[in-house]
Amino acid sequence: MKLRAYLVDDEPLALERLRRLLQQTGKVEVIGSTTEPDEAVARLTADPPDVCFLDIQMPRLNGFDVLGKLPRQPIVIFTTAYDQYALEAFAVNSVDYLLKPIDPGALERAIKKLENLRGSDSVAQAEVQASLKQIQDSVREVTAKYPERIASRLGRRMWFLDLKNVSHFFAKDKLTYAVSGGKSYCVDHSIANLQKKLDPKKFFRIHRSTVVNLGWVEEVASLPGGMLSIRLKDTRRTDLTVARDHAREFKMRMDC
């Protein structure tokens, strides 16, 4: 009998990828998914699944806030793009975590844990819920902080980029890239999602397809039509355009 799973992630691309990977295992039936934490609370309350794959860092309600609103908590596998949340506690007593972009092998191991848990007695399952509560308490303060690194996968390799070294993010051909050290790294986030997750004191969305690290801005110049041209202090001396509707706030942020 397949495991019934519900998926929660504020990034649609990440949701779709996870759904595809779960279907490929042949062991999981995805009974629903959402990008809205409030909707997740309602659905998980009305029809608790065998397992919930739950993103941690989401706007309005993070993953732990969602769990805190449920009258009965399902078994949870946390998903996160930021390794600062990959605490050892996540792997205790069959409560697991998956680092995004999710590796198929890691997903298979997590599903195996779930299958073993489903066959265990009620005492063991109660211990899981107690462990989950301890995890919630221990990381609640951590999740309030903005990430310092972001993950990128290249083939079988996972790269962790220090955000202080990322000059900007840009979207192209339905993918999003982080630029660091003169190289572009694909990340599993949309520009809109990055705008929500990154520290607004350090990162600013200058265009619908671009988020810039303000610490890397070297020059600012006015363009016709109310737009701005900025030059970054990277090795390529990258030039970017600030859209007219973002220009005023950008100048305020840069105090120029």
Together in a domain, 104 and 204: no
Q: Could you tell me the residue range of the domain that residue 226 belongs to?
A: 149-254
Whether residues 178 and 64 share a domain: the answer is no
CATH number at residue 221: 2.40.50.1020
Query: Same structural domain for residues 66 and 129?
Result: yes
**Number of domains present in the structure of the chain:** 2
**What's the CATH number where 90 sits?**
3.40.50.2300
pTM of the model: 0.54
**Contact, 52 vs 76, CB < 8 A?**
yes
Q: How does pLDDT run across 152-183, given as a tens digit for each residue?
A: 987 778 889 999 999 999 999 999 999 999 89
Whether residue 127 contacts residue 121, with contact meaning beta carbons closer than 8 Å, is answered with no
Give the domain-ending residue among 127, 143, 159.
Answer: 143
pLDDT at residue 59 in the model: 72
139-167 residues labelled b (16+ CB within 10 A) or e (exposed): beeebeeebebbbbbeeeeebebebeebb
Q: What is the pLDDT of residues 84-114, one digit of tens each?
A: 544 543 443 335 778 777 889 989 988 988 8
**127 confidence band (pLDDT: 50, 70, 90):** low
How many residues are given for the chain?
256
Same-domain status, 93 and 197: no
| Same structural domain, 68 and 124 | yes
Distance in angstroms (rounded) separating the CA atoms of residues 68 and 74: 12
- pLDDT at residue 131, as a whole number: 54
pLDDT at residue 129, rounded to an integer:
57
Task: Taking residues 218-228, report their average pLDDT.
Answer: 94
In a shared domain, residues 109 and 162 = no
Residues 131 and 159 grouped into a single domain: no
